[in-house]
Amino acid sequence: MRKSPWVLLIFVLIGGLLGGVLGEILRVMAPQGTIQTVFATNFTPGISPPLTIDLVLLKLTIGFALKINLLSLLGMFLGIYLYKNV
């Protein structure tokens, strides 16, 4: 059976979202210490500040930011694993 790359993208996105949510819950609920430092620390790559192009008639603002923590990465890898084994 042939698997679609779109299904892989959905698995990775859902895994990343669930991991990110769990990371945010852990950040709020866990006491200060090693667990919170390791699992809830975020890495935020992106365009900061957003790129703005002013063409007088039209003004475009382009930007993005990803908020990645260890649990979101683990969720993405779990999504890839499930995609390969389902």
* Domain range for 17: 5-85
Q: Give me the number of domains the chain comprises.
A: 1
**Separation between Cα atoms, residue 26 and residue 18, nearest integer Å:** 12
pTM score of the predicted model:
0.78
At 6-32, the pLDDT tens digits run: 999 999 999 999 999 998 888 888 888
At 59-71, the pLDDT tens digits run: 999 999 888 999 9
Above 70 in pLDDT, residue 1? no
Burial class (CB in 10 A: 0-12, 13-18, 19+), 68: middle
